[in-house]
């Protein structure tokens, strides 16, 4: 972070400015040179300049951007560097940049901002556009600090200027500004003026298409500021009229932007749609049939968004609307159904030839099918009679497009309608599908057929279904067809694997009555064959095969435990093979890495499966040494990072091995530490933290010699700003795991861990926002903190050192009080929190009795938990009550 420069510096800087500015142009141009050496040199010079004199650097960049005499290339790059000096993707870096800007001298900032505003009038479009984006970035830093109050006023005054390009640049700036800043930092008066300017710019009377386009795009971002305006009937009518008119503009970019506005309105202002829905339906229907594809896609997207809203509402309220429901369901989809469904079915016939091979493909047929699926989830049974005639008519047609569309339509409506409605249809269709998957000449049809079978198994097959669609009789045929299909072209084979995945999943709860088990060996062998196909790298076929193998193992039963044990040897051999390659190219290394991931994933699933069965575990443990050695070698393949999948496998292995894991720990420890140090790949760090917990429970006291290292690393992780925040709650829980394992030996870590817990507790006591995501995170954090306290209390229980914890008790009780008062904890936190109250009483005994009696809300909290409907909360509460009653009665 740089210090504000002194006035003296600024003067001297000003004297040299011209010289510097001269140089900057050249350096900026060189930085875009083809010659890498020249480029590198220029980049270094820029960096040096920035490090030595940041204010001067930023000033000269803004001067460069504003200067009409300079070449556009240097102006654009100047703007880009300026923008990057204000914002970064990474949260920690972003925060640093914001602080750095705020601490700059006011005069310097004023000069930069003046240059930026001036650039909006430039005759060069790229310069204007770049300036727009930089202005929005500065605004996003300054407006929340109540700085730059004159910005919006001066932008709005531009609107009335004659040259259309200034108006266009200003509207674009307003759009970016609305995208960058949060609505509550702009007062309503300014919002009104911005919207007025934007909507005027969108109006059909606006003769300049560039202006109209900029205005329409600006509205898209400004919509979230328009809550008050959308509550005003007249203003809302006006905005809606202008948007609908813009969808009819002769300019396709404007029409596209207008449809994007409609999509956003559909989800942001769902409850205000009633008066407009008929018009919007007509507009979108026409667009889907006649428009260019990007516009037609947005028209479909409008209905998908409305489905999303209605699904959310219906899920949240379960269809029961009481006076306190926030938003009622207006059943727009149900009302539009008779016309909407035929429109969507038409789109299904507009497939592209190669869409099944292209991962990123997104076209009318796919969007239409997606929307149809959402409609089915929204209205349930009602969709079935509207779609069935289309299926029946097309499914046997000679044109593959018709057969594929019919199959796709069927697959799309399998989630939503009741099993009662679908089962009879599926019973008839199943045979047809199996035949098609075997015999249809078109790969497109086979691809969609296999996918549809997967959907059938996903939604209509499982222990909860009243009438099973799969019987021991047809099971054999299904498996035969699917295994055969796995030899088809990669995209079809991948879908067949997917179908088998869901077929297996449906048997998960059935145990030994699973009809799949007689075919276990055959299925496993077929899947292994797939993984060895030369073309298994296409259409993620290999991945799908391993994933299905995992699912089949998860759903296997005691009878097949021996076969699963044999699979261990196969997977180990495969893993061993990946370790043989020497001196790999980076491409080969990536492939090795991916394959190791799949194999470790599979091992993890097998370990977990066999580890959970007492009989199978002993047989399997004879491979323990070999498995661990392989996993260690996988770790050793990489120098700087550890393999996440291997780490997950180790966790499962430690759990299954129990105390015997101690013999592996000396060799494994360095990878454990490496995993804990991996800030960049935070998933790896998180997984490793989980593994520490596994090892604690497996080794208990025997983990003690490693605890210094582990605790040091965990404490470092907690203090790091770089580490993703989602890893912090599990680290706190991990403190609890360690304390529980090593008991009073945790004493030496108390002085570090407790202040961290305490400050995190203070932070998480109150959720400041209305932001659901933040509340969810806060609850995760609270749960981690509370699990740490639980582990520490229970670890110290019945030791002579319990009195060491006494000084922390008041704060912990206060923390419990405050989260109780806050009334926003979830069930998990509630259960953990009431448990901590019990642990505190249990460990501190009569010492804590009076503290608990004095605490503000313990009693209410306990009573609330005791009367909870949640079984786990109640259980914890009853335990806490006993512990407290003992503490008080002593």
| Site residues (CB under 8 A) for another protein, limited to 432-461 | 447-448, 451
Residue from 281, 546, 671, 808 in contact with another protein (CB under 8 A): 546
C-alpha 490/C-alpha 544 separation (Å) is 10
**Chain residues 410-429 in contact with another protein, contact rule CB under 8 A:** 412
Nearest distance from C-beta of residue 617 to another protein, angstroms: 8
Q: Is 835 in the site for another protein (CB under 8 A)?
A: yes
Nearest in space to 838 (alpha carbons), one of 866, 799, 818, 819: 866
Q: Classify residue 489 by burial, with Cβ atoms within 10 Å: 0-12, 13-18, 19+.
A: middle
Q: Of 191 and 792, which CB lies nearer to another protein in the complex structure?
A: 792
Q: Is 547 in the site for another protein (CB under 8 A)?
A: yes
Nearest distance from C-beta of residue 632 to another protein, angstroms: 19
Residue from 733, 779, 855, 858 in contact with another protein (CB under 8 A): 733
Q: Could you tell me the two tokens for 398?
A: 């000679």
Q: Classify residue 449 by burial, with Cβ atoms within 10 Å: 0-12, 13-18, 19+.
A: buried
Residue from 221, 526, 596, 677 in contact with another protein (CB under 8 A): 221
Q: Is 838 in the site for another protein (CB under 8 A)?
A: yes
C-alpha 53/C-alpha 676 separation (Å) is 37
Q: Is 550 in the site for another protein (CB under 8 A)?
A: yes
Nearest in space to 254 (alpha carbons), one of 245, 243, 244, 246: 246
Nearest distance from C-beta of residue 871 to another protein, angstroms: 6
Site map (CB under 8 A) of another protein, residues 488-527, x = contact: -------x--x-----------------------------
Give the range of 312-320, 560-568, 597-605, 709-717 binding another protein by CB under 8 A: 597-605
Contact indicator for 567, 527 with CB cutoff of 8 Å: no
Residue from 601, 624, 675, 849 in contact with another protein (CB under 8 A): 601
Residue from 31, 648, 781, 887 in contact with another protein (CB under 8 A): 648
Q: Of 394 and 550, which CB lies nearer to another protein in the complex structure?
A: 550
Q: Of 569 and 798, which CB lies nearer to another protein in the complex structure?
A: 798
Q: Of 624 and 651, which CB lies nearer to another protein in the complex structure?
A: 651
Task: Return the DSSP state at 826.
Answer: -
Nearest distance from C-beta of residue 434 to another protein, angstroms: 19
Give the range of 84-92, 98-106, 599-607, 799-807 binding another protein by CB under 8 A: 599-607
The footprint of another protein on this chain (CB under 8 A) covers a number of residues equal to 77
- Residue 414 half-sphere exposure toward CB, CA atoms < 13 A: 25
Q: Of 87 and 547, which CB lies nearer to another protein in the complex structure?
A: 547
Residue whose token pair is 């229970």: 794
C-alpha 82/C-alpha 74 separation (Å) is 12
Q: Of 416 and 651, which CB lies nearer to another protein in the complex structure?
A: 651
End-to-end CA distance of the chain: give it in Å, rounded. Answer: 57
Residue whose token pair is 């202008």: 242
- The dihedral sign for the CA sequence 208, 210, 214, 216: positive
Q: Is 878 in the site for another protein (CB under 8 A)?
A: yes
Nearest distance from C-beta of residue 882 to another protein, angstroms: 6
Site map (CB under 8 A) of another protein, residues 26-65, x = contact: ----------------------------------------
Calculate the alpha carbon distances from 848 to 795, 840, 853 in Å: 17, 7, 9
Nearest distance from C-beta of residue 528 to another protein, angstroms: 16
Q: Is 404 in the site for another protein (CB under 8 A)?
A: no
C-alpha 45/C-alpha 59 separation (Å) is 16
Contact indicator for 866, 878 with CB cutoff of 8 Å: yes
Instruction: State the Cα angle at 435 between 431 and 437, rounded to 5°.
Output: 115
Nearest distance from C-beta of residue 729 to another protein, angstroms: 11
Q: Could you tell me the two tokens for 228?
A: 């008050």
Nearest distance from C-beta of residue 366 to another protein, angstroms: 6
Give the range of 513-521, 662-670, 731-739, 850-858 binding another protein by CB under 8 A: 731-739
Q: Of 58 and 650, which CB lies nearer to another protein in the complex structure?
A: 650
- Rounded to the nearest 5 percent, the helix, strand and coil shares of the chain are 80, 0, 20
Q: Is 298 in the site for another protein (CB under 8 A)?
A: yes
Q: Is 883 in the site for another protein (CB under 8 A)?
A: yes
**Chain residues 610-629 in contact with another protein, contact rule CB under 8 A:** 614, 617
Nearest distance from C-beta of residue 372 to another protein, angstroms: 9
Contact indicator for 536, 584 with CB cutoff of 8 Å: no
Nearest in space to 833 (alpha carbons), one of 774, 771, 781: 781
Q: What are phi and psi of 555, to 5 degrees?
A: -90, 10
Q: Is 879 in the site for another protein (CB under 8 A)?
A: yes
Residue from 179, 235, 251, 538 in contact with another protein (CB under 8 A): 179
Nearest in space to 7 (alpha carbons), one of 97, 102, 109, 108: 108
Q: Of 517 and 603, which CB lies nearer to another protein in the complex structure?
A: 603
3-state secondary structure of 709: helix
Site map (CB under 8 A) of another protein, residues 774-813, x = contact: -------------x--xx--xx-xx---------------
Site map (CB under 8 A) of another protein, residues 741-780, x = contact: ----------------------------------------
Task: Return the DSSP state at 6.
Answer: P
Calculate the alpha carbon distances from 708 to 665, 685, 739, 787 in Å: 14, 18, 12, 20
Q: Is 201 in the site for another protein (CB under 8 A)?
A: no
Q: Is 871 in the site for another protein (CB under 8 A)?
A: yes
Task: Return the DSSP state at 579.
Answer: T
* E strands, 536-623, in order: none
Contact indicator for 410, 404 with CB cutoff of 8 Å: no
**Chain residues 650-709 in contact with another protein, contact rule CB under 8 A:** 651-652, 655, 658-659, 683, 687, 690, 693-694, 697, 700
Nearest distance from C-beta of residue 693 to another protein, angstroms: 6
56: left (phi over 0), alpha (psi -120 to 50) or beta: alpha
Nearest distance from C-beta of residue 295 to another protein, angstroms: 12
Q: Of 81 and 650, which CB lies nearer to another protein in the complex structure?
A: 650
Nearest distance from C-beta of residue 683 to another protein, angstroms: 7
**Chain residues 302-321 in contact with another protein, contact rule CB under 8 A:** 304
- Residue 827 half-sphere exposure toward CB, CA atoms < 13 A: 10
Residue whose token pair is 């203070």: 762
Give the range of 226-234, 269-277, 514-522, 546-554 binding another protein by CB under 8 A: 546-554
**Chain residues 81-140 in contact with another protein, contact rule CB under 8 A:** none
Q: Of 113 and 617, which CB lies nearer to another protein in the complex structure?
A: 617
Catalogue the long-range contacts made by 537-542 (C-beta closer than 8 Å, 24 or more residues apart): 537/591, 538/357, 538/490, 538/491, 539/357, 539/490, 539/491, 539/493, 539/494, 540/494, 541/490, 541/491, 541/493, 541/494, 541/497, 542/595, 542/598
Longest dimension (CA), the chain: 91
Site map (CB under 8 A) of another protein, residues 328-367, x = contact: -------------------------------x-xx---xx
Q: Could you tell me the two tokens for 808?
A: 């922390």
């Amino acid at each position: 972070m740089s210090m504000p420069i002194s006035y003296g510096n600024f003067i001297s800087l000003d004297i040299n400015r011209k010289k510097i500015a001269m140089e900057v142009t050249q350096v900026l141009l060189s930085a875009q040179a083809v010659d890498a050496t020249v480029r590198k040199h220029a980049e270094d010079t820029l960096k040096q300049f920035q490090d030595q004199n940041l204010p001067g650097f930023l000033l000269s960049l803004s001067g460069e951007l504003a200067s009409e005499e300079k070449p556009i290339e240097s102006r654009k790059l100047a703007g880009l560097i300026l923008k990057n000096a204000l914002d970064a993707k990474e949260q920690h870096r972003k925060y640093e940049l914001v602080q750095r800007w705020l601490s700059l001298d006011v005069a310097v900032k004023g000069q930069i901002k003046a240059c930026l505003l001036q650039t909006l009038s430039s005759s060069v479009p790229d310069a204007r556009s770049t300036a727009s984006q930089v202005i929005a970035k500065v605004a996003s830093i300054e407006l929340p600090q109540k700085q730059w109050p004159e910005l919006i006023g001066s932008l709005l005054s531009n609107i009335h200027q004659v040259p259309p390009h200034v108006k266009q640049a200003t509207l674009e700036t307003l759009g970016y500004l609305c995208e960058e800043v949060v609505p509550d930092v702009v007062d309503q008066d300014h919002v009104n003026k911005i919207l007025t300017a934007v909507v005027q710019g969108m109006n059909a009377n606006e003769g300049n298409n560039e202006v109209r386009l900029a205005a329409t795009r600006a509205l898209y971002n400004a919509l979230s500021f328009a809550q008050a305006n959308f509550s005003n009937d007249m203003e809302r009518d006006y905005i809606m009229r202008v948007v609908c008119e813009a969808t009819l503009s002769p300019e396709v970019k404007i029409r596209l932007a207008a449809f994007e506005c409609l999509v956003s309105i559909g989800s942001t202002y769902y409850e205000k749609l009633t008066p407009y829905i008929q018009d919007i339906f007509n507009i979108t229907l026409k667009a889907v049939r006649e428009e260019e594809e990007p516009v037609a896609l947005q028209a479909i997207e409008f209905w998908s968004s409305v489905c999303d809203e209605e699904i959310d509402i219906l899920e949240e309220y379960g269809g029961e609307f009481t006076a306190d429901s926030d938003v009622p369901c207006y059943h727009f989809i149900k009302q539009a159904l008779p016309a909407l469904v035929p429109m969507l079915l038409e789109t299904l016939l507009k497939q592209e030839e190669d869409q099944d091979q292209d991962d990123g493909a997104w076209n009318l047929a796919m969007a239409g099918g997606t929307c149809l699926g959402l409609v089915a989830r929204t209205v349930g049974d009602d969709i079935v009679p509207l779609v069935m005639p289309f299926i029946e008519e097309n499914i046997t047609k000679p044109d593959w497009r018709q057969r594929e569309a019919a199959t796709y339509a069927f697959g799309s409506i399998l989630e939503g309608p009741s099993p009662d409605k679908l089962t009879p249809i599926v019973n008839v269709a199943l045979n047809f599908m199996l035949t098609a998957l075997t015999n249809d000449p078109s790969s497109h049809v086979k691809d969609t057929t296999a996918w549809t079978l997967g959907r059938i198994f996903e939604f209509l097959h499982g222990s909860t279904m009243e009438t099973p669609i799969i019987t021991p009789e047809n099971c054999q045929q299904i498996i035969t067809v699917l295994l055969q299909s796995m030899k088809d072209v990669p995209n079809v084979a991948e879908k067949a694997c997917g179908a088998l995945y869901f077929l297996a999943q449906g048997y998960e709860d059935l145990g030994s009555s699973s009809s799949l088990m007689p075919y276990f060996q055959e299925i496993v062998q077929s899947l292994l064959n797939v993984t060895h196909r030369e073309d298994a790298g296409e259409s993620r076929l290999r991945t799908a095969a391993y994933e299905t193998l995992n699912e089949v193992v998860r759903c296997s039963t005691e009878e097949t435990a021996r076969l699963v044990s044999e699979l261990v040897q196969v997977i180990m051999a495969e893993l061993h093979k990946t370790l043989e390659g020497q001196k790999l190219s980076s491409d080969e290394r990536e492939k090795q890495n991916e394959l190791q991931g799949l194999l470790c994933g599979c091992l993890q699933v097998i370990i977990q499966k066999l580890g959970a069965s007492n009989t199978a575990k002993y047989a399997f443990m004879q491979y323990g040494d070999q498995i661990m050695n392989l996993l260690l070698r996988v770790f050793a393949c990489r120098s700087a990072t550890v393999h996440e999948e291997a780490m997950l496998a180790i966790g499962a292995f430690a759990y299954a091995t129990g105390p015997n894991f101690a013999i592996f720990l000396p060799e494994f420890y360095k990878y454990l530490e490496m995993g804990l140090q991996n800030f960049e790949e935070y998933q790896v760090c998180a997984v490793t933290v989980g593994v520490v917990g596994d090892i604690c429970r497996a080794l208990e006291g025997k983990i003690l010699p490693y605890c210094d290292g582990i605790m040091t690393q965990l404490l470092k992780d907690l203090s790091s700003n770089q580490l993703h925040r989602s890893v912090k709650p599990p680290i706190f829980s991990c403190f609890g795991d360690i304390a529980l394992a090593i008991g009073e030996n945790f004493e030496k870590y108390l002085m570090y861990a407790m202040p961290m817990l305490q400050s995190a507790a203070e932070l998480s006591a109150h959720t400041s926002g209305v932001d659901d995501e933040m509340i969810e995170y806060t609850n995760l954090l609270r749960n981690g903190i509370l699990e740490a306290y639980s582990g520490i209390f229970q670890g110290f229980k019945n030791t002579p050192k319990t009195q060491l914890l006494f000084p922390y008790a008041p704060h912990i009780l206060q923390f419990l009080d405050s989260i109780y008062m806050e009334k926003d904890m979830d069930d998990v936190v509630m259960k953990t929190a009431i448990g901590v109250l019990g642990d505190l009483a249990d460990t501190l005994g009569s010492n804590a009795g009076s503290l608990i009696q004095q605490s503000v809300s313990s009693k209410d909290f306990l009573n609330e938990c005791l009367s909870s409907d949640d079984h786990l909360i109640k259980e914890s509460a009853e335990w806490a009550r006993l512990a407290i009653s003992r503490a008080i009665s002593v």
